[in-house]
Amino acid sequence: MRLLLLTLPALVLTACGNPQSEPAAEIDHSGHGDMAGTMIGSESDGPVAQQETAIDIRASWMRPHPEGRDVTAAYVVVRLSEGTEDLLTEVRIDEAERVEIHGHFVGADGVMQMREIGPQPVTDEGPLVFTPGGRHLMVFGLAPVSEGETVNGTLVFQNAGEVPVTLAVRSMPPGMPTEY
């Protein structure tokens, strides 16, 4: 819990609109094991209308592994380019053990926590954004990657099926896409 407390000011800073200065809050967080029992189902993983959709993925990147860790965070921006509704049900990264979809929450004690949030809907009302300090992909058991490399993966959608993604390994966010 100590690490988590130390990274909290950085998260607050992010909320004020300076993502460039955000350290690897998701990775620094040491509470994954602690929270295994507190997973709560997402309210948003309800049924999705069956339809043909097409998915547009942008700003896909992954942080280099911190020294000595086999956990890192990845981010994407998902947009529907056709259709009105879909559900991101699963994420796979080649060679990784598993990927979890995580969100950040302020706990009852006022301390920022993160937990698995399950499938995430994407609609034609706006992009599904994974970004530092917010929704993110937690990548477990991947051999360490370094700045400048690329990693391949797959996003699995209920309607669109499997959509390949290439993530650039970088320590700074690439900047948000300008057009959604």
How far apart CA 179 and CA 165 sit, in angstroms, is: 19
132 in Cβ contact with 138 (< 8 Å) = no
Closest distance of CB 49 from Cu ion, Å: 30
Nearer to Cu ion, 63 or 102 (CB): 102
How far apart CA 152 and CA 172 sit, in angstroms, is: 19
Nearer to Cu ion, 48 or 114 (CB): 114
Instruction: Write out the H or E segment, with its range, that includes residue 10.
Output: helix 2-15
Nearer to Cu ion, 138 or 155 (CB): 138
Closest distance of CB 138 from Cu ion, Å: 4
Closest distance of CB 66 from Cu ion, Å: 13
133 SS3 class: coil
Nearer to Cu ion, 79 or 102 (CB): 102
Sequence-distant (6+) residues with CB within 8 A of 13 are: 21, 22
How far apart CA 174 and CA 180 sit, in angstroms, is: 15
Closest distance of CB 114 from Cu ion, Å: 4
The dihedrals phi and psi of 6, each to the nearest 5 degrees, come to -70, -30
Q: Which two tokens stand for residue 110?
A: 């006022």
Closest distance of CB 156 from Cu ion, Å: 19
Nearer to Cu ion, 130 or 157 (CB): 130
Binding site for Cu ion (CB under 5 A): 26, 102, 114, 138
Cα 18 off chain centre by: 18
